[in-house]
């Protein structure tokens, strides 16, 4: 039992968020440099469950997006995640290396509801309004497979993806294009308990901050 307890104490239990893409792999790789042979347990659960598990100690930390404060937790900023537009590859806008938000005004937008993903919807709504229009709601975003297939083969429409997720997302017939500046972004943070961090958690923070510094160079 003592061995099992020590193993659990040395394990970093980390709540993950949809759309981290290559950032998650890079973070874990950087963590291995800061803490040789770390034991990491990744837990993918809804945001409310993630936060509850951090508060009760079942998770050491959790990735969160679009929040700067949480009751009973400390929120540590990590990076700003750029959003990219997903368009039909056959659409004229897909021929350009980047897309201006204003050029999307006439296309239906397939996106999660505000209740499902408030930070994402807020960022996209703000980008559209800054470009001088209100988004034209299309069918709801259901899942990656069905939504991207519909964008590829159905009536012209668009959606948004986190850039790190788009980089690894299979999407035949869909073109991912960065937005012309200023690109909409969503802040990503790490939620932790307001206590001195464990050795493993301190190593994770170093890995995340080093990754962000590399991305800004």
Q: Quick one: residue 133, left, alpha or beta (phi over 0 = left, psi -120 to 50 = alpha)?
A: beta
- pLDDT of 191 over the 50 cut: yes
Predicted confidence band of residue 154 (pLDDT cuts 50, 70, 90): confident
Predicted confidence band of residue 119 (pLDDT cuts 50, 70, 90): very high
pTM, entire model: 0.86
pLDDT computed for residue 138 by the predictor: 94
Output 15 or 7, whichever has higher pLDDT: 15
User: What percent of the chain is predicted at pLDDT more than 70?
Assistant: 90
pLDDT computed for residue 142 by the predictor: 93
pLDDT computed for residue 214 by the predictor: 53
- pLDDT of 5 over the 80 cut: no
Predicted confidence band of residue 201 (pLDDT cuts 50, 70, 90): confident
pLDDT computed for residue 30 by the predictor: 86
Q: What is the pLDDT of residues 20-56, one digit of tens each?
A: 998 898 888 888 887 666 689 999 998 899 999 999 9
Contact 11, 198 (CB under 8 A): no
pLDDT computed for residue 6 by the predictor: 45
Output 108 or 196, whichever has higher pLDDT: 108
Please, which contacts does 102-105 make with residues 24 or more away whose CB atoms are closer than 8 Å? 102/131, 102/132, 102/133, 104/128, 104/158, 105/131, 105/132, 105/133, 105/136
Q: What is the pLDDT of residues 127-153, one digit of tens each?
A: 999 999 999 999 999 999 999 999 999
Q: What is the pLDDT of residues 82-108, one digit of tens each?
A: 999 999 999 999 999 999 999 999 899
**CA torsion through residues 52, 40, 187, 75, sign:** positive
């Amino acid at each position: 039992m003592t061995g099992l307890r020590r193993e659990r104490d040395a394990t970093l239990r980390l709540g993950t968020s949809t759309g981290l893409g290559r950032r998650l792999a890079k973070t874990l790789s950087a963590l291995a440099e800061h803490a040789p042979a770390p034991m990491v347990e990744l837990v993918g659960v809804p945001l409310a469950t993630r936060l509850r598990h951090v508060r009760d100690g079942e998770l050491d930390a959790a990735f969160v997006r679009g929040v700067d404060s949480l009751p009973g937790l400390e929120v540590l900023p990590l990076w700003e995640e750029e959003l990219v537009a997903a368009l039909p590859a056959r659409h004229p806008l897909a021929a350009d290396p980047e897309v201006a938000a204003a050029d999307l005004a006439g296309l239906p937008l397939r996106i999660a509801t505000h209740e499902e993903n408030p930070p994402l919807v807020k960022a996209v709504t703000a980008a559209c309004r800054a470009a001088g229009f209100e988004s034209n709601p299309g069918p709801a975003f259901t899942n990656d497979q069905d939504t991207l297939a519909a964008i590829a083969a159905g009536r012209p429409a668009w959606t948004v993806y986190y850039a790190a997720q788009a980089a690894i997302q299979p999407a035949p017939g869909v073109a991912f294009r960065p937005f012309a500046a200023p690109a909409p972004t969503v802040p990503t943070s790490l939620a932790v308990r307001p206590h001195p961090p464990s050795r493993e958690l301190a190593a994770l923070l170093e890995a995340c901050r080093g990754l962000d510094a590399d991305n800004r160079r």
